Chain A
Amino acid sequence: MDVTLNVKRYNPDAAKPASYNQEYRIDLEDGSSLLDGLIKVREEMDGTLALRCSCRSAICGSCAMRVNGRAVLACNTKMKDVMPKDGSPVKVEPAGNMGVVKDLIVNFDVFWGKIKAVKPWLQPEGPVPQGEYLAPNEAMLHLAGVMGCIMCGACVSDCTVLEVDKNFLGPAALAKAYRFVGDPRDAHEKDRLKDLTKYGGMWDCTRCMQCVQVCPKGVDPMGRIMKMRDKALAAGYNNTYGARHALAFTDLVRHGGHLDELRLPIKTFGIFNVKEMLKLAPIGMRSQMVGKVPPLFPKPIPGIQNVRRIFEKVEAKR
């Protein structure tokens, strides 16, 4: 099959480095992957095209990049699945949020730094047993789901929080953190949770689901982050803005059947938190002008008992 690739390129060694797009027309066998196409370009047409790749089996995590605007592993992406129907070129770009070094190679320094920041090693306490630590198979299988992470950076590439807040640990590092938080052999679950409730940690995820959708290994980083939020609340780490926001949200909906946007920030930040209250004042005023401020004493919605019953059922299940 005939394929045209439109590759976003960048050569830092050029006299005036700037990114540009280059098209390559190649002939590929039907079942070929995106990676097969890129390798063909680099080995037979243009040796200057730079990308990372190695295993071709979605296990080494080298070849994350964006195709048609979405992060994928090039090796397990079939070319014919990403060829636009209108015959336009397949758009290939480097992974996002990390900074380009050259062509499709991005800078992983910050990525590894964040992984390291979650202290990603087992911290058992007490006497070391003669044999193995005993652990239930279900617990291990559950962790295997997170262990499946191959650190490809697809989730980081498309994380919408990282786009605006470089301080966020990001989905990969938080999933790695969960791997230890959830390990029955680790003795530092509480310390870990406490650390992860800080700015940049678990409460900074906006639950946009991008990481879940682009993860090539089904690791479900966002799901793990939500699990850690539950564990952090259960462990009593409920005095951060993120935790208070979540708790206030729940309380308000349980109480009135809808979200009271007036009380939500007040409950989150505290009415006497002058700094945060002042920050919110302009938004409050603008909302007032367009009639968006909810009533001071809102009535519960009709049928509020049903809402509360839902809460009871959900909480009983936990």
Chain B
Amino acid sequence: MFDHDVLVIGAGLAGMRAALAASQAGVNVAVVTKVFPVRSHSNAAQGGINAALTDRGDKWEDHAYDTVKGSDYLGDQDAIEIMCKEAGSEIINMEHMGTIFNRDAEGKLGVRAFGGQRQARTFFVADFTGQALLYVLHEQVMKSGVRVYEEWFVLSLIVEGGECCGAVVMEMKTGEVHTIRAKAVIMATGGIGRVFEPSTNALICTGDGMALAYRAGAPLMDMEMIQYHPTTLKSNGALMSEAARGEGAYLINKDGDRFMKRYAPNMMELASRDVVSRSEQTEINEGRGVNGCVLLDCRHLGEKLIKEKLGQIRQLGIDFANADMIKEPVPVRPGMHYVMGGIRTNYDGLTSIPGLYAAGETACVSVHGGNRLGANSLLDTLVFGKRSGQHAAAGVKSKQHAAGVTDAYSEAEKKKIQAILDRPADGGELFGKVRQELGETMNKYLAVFRDQQGMETAQRKVKELRMRYEKVIVHDKGRTFNTNLIFTLELGFMFDCAETVIVGALERKESRGAHTRTDMPKRDDANWLKHVVQFRTPEGPRIEDQPVKITQWQPQVRSY
């Protein structure tokens, strides 16, 4: 058994920022991560991070308004205000710690334009901003001496007397199961991308944190809000950053027409993501696409700019779509990218369970509401990672470890694992096909456009798949890096996430943000200006409503 004051689960931007904040507050912090920290999916964020820096004439209020409008008025405005107010100092802090950032002619931080915002306020490092930030936090964590349990996989959270007080964790290299006791736990496990197939997300994005918290009794919120990114590659779902459009790229259909002029005449390609994805899908559905895609045209940006600022995605285009954006347009289509929903928290990261915090994509504060603006996710991870770390550290100072936490918790998990390993092999299937079918089902029925019938079909199919899942077998019976077992456990987490996405989507009887129902195409503020909150019960999710917090921006008609 291990003891720490604060245990952070996940070592992406939110997790490492939280760990640093807690460590700076003088408490004993540890991080558990199922991959080496630099492998975390934050590294895939390309375009940049938003902040309104006052010394260059931008205002946090403008950033907040763009975010509120982008969220289709579902974001909680008190939380959005906090995020936008604290953005500037977080960016400067990251720069001071070593992030290189592209510069302007005076050597100050340079900006690029991004979608859904009237002002260029996206700070960036070429087209690998996430990687640049992640590596700097990793450097600082190495320097801080915070203990990082690398390649350890969390099996369950420990809740005693209504408070979260640790986790049961498997060391992947040895297969040993340990109990880690903690006075506070911060979930920072990222998104649920692999619940959809294809997705821009990495294979590790399996919704572990959401499922763990949900199973421990914390509710999930706004799970129906799934962002489809407008520019992903058809072959493997890889992301082509919004930075391309931020730098001036066009979207064209098979006739070479910049079709966004018909959907968002003012912002064109830089309308918010839900709007652009819907427009693209409409073009494709109405026969103006090219093999199920539209075209991202960067040719007019010139070789120098592309190589300097979009080098990585140029290479992705060459590798995975056989198209060099310097010479030809790249076929792209909307692809699952991000979940706005997650574990419900307040603006200090605290969930409904004392001692349990969440930050980053796994959390729902909610600052993104129905649709996240590009380059707000990195900001979300840093601001709320920091706040969670600080708040958790303050809370544990006068707290003792829960006395009832013993190795009985790890023994119980070991038994569950053994039962999976002992399943009779004959006739059973591996997890792979089940996961594939789950992802394809979700991508078919819970994509850019949804309707009642499709979502009900998805619900039925997912139930069937879950029954198949209960019987999947594990070939590998060994202890060392039993990835077969780990993937099987992850698939269990994914089913919890999939189920809540569907239930949330069926519940919301309107179209808002990324949730667009062809059978209910209008936004309905009178009845649905509220969050959908889901609690786990043995019979399935129990639903509660929660009002949206509005401070200064009343809902208006949303056009770009």
Q: Which of B22-30, B212-220, B475-483, B499-507 contacts A (4 or more CB under 8 A)?
A: B475-483
| Residues of chain B within 8 A of A55, CB atoms compared | 39, 41, 43-44, 202-203
Contact B308 A48 (CB under 8 A): no
Contact B39 A141 (CB under 8 A): no
Which single member of B107, B131, B203, B430 contacts A54 (CB below 8 Å)?
Answer: B203
Indicate whether B35 reaches chain A with its CB closer than 8 angstroms: yes
User: Using an 8 Å CB-CB cutoff, how does the interface string of B308-323 with A read, 1 for contact, 0 for none?
Assistant: 1000100110011010
| Residues of chain B within 8 A of A136, CB atoms compared | 103, 107
User: Using an 8 Å CB-CB cutoff, how does the interface string of A89-121 with B read, 1 for contact, 0 for none?
Assistant: 000000000000111010010001001100011
Contact A102 B480 (CB under 8 A): yes
| CB nearest to B135 among chain A residues | A147
Indicate whether B286 reaches chain A with its CB closer than 8 angstroms: no
**Closest Cβ–Cβ distance, residue B43 to chain A (whole Å):** 5
Contact A43 B203 (CB under 8 A): no
| CB nearest to A51 among chain B residues | B483
Q: By DSSP majority rule, is chain A's interface helix, strand, loop, or mixed?
A: loop
Indicate whether A56 reaches chain B with its CB closer than 8 angstroms: yes
Contact A76 B430 (CB under 8 A): no
Given contacts A134-B107, A151-B38, contact A47 B430 (CB under 8 A): yes
Given contacts A47-B475, A50-B481, A57-B239, contact A144 B41 (CB under 8 A): no
Given contacts A53-B203, A143-B100, contact A101 B480 (CB under 8 A): yes
Contact B35 A140 (CB under 8 A): no
Given contacts A42-B484, A131-B55, contact A116 B142 (CB under 8 A): yes
Residue count of chain B within 8 Å CB distance of chain A: 69
| Residues of chain B within 8 A of A150, CB atoms compared | 38, 43, 131
Q: How big is chain A's contact interface, by range?
A: 35 or more
| CB nearest to B175 among chain A residues | A13
Q: Which of A59-67, A266-274, A294-302 contacts B (4 or more CB under 8 A)?
A: A59-67
A56 vs B184: C-alpha distance in the bound complex, in angstroms?
Answer: 34
Indicate whether B125 reaches chain A with its CB closer than 8 angstroms: yes
Indicate whether A137 reaches chain B with its CB closer than 8 angstroms: yes
Given contacts A43-B430, A44-B432, A121-B143, contact A59 B131 (CB under 8 A): yes
| Residues of chain A within 8 A of B474, CB atoms compared | 47
Please list the 4 inter-chain residue pairs (A to B) with the smallest Cβ-Cβ separation, ordered nearest first: A43-B432, A47-B475, A122-B98, A13-B478
Can you identify 14 A-B contacts, CB atoms within 8 angstroms? A56-B238, A57-B320, A58-B319, A59-B43, A60-B39, A102-B478, A121-B98, A128-B96, A132-B109, A135-B100, A135-B103, A136-B103, A150-B43, A185-B98
Instruction: Please list the residues of chain A having a beta carbon within 8 angstroms of any beta carbon in chain B.
Output: 11-13, 31, 33, 42-44, 46-48, 50-62, 76, 78, 101-103, 105, 108, 112, 115-116, 120-122, 124, 128, 131-137, 140-141, 143-144, 147-148, 150-151, 183, 185
Instruction: Taking A50-B476, A50-B482, A128-B96 as given, write out 4 further A-B residue pairs in contact, using a Cβ cutoff of 8 Å, ordered by the A residue number.
Output: A44-B430, A52-B39, A137-B107, A141-B308
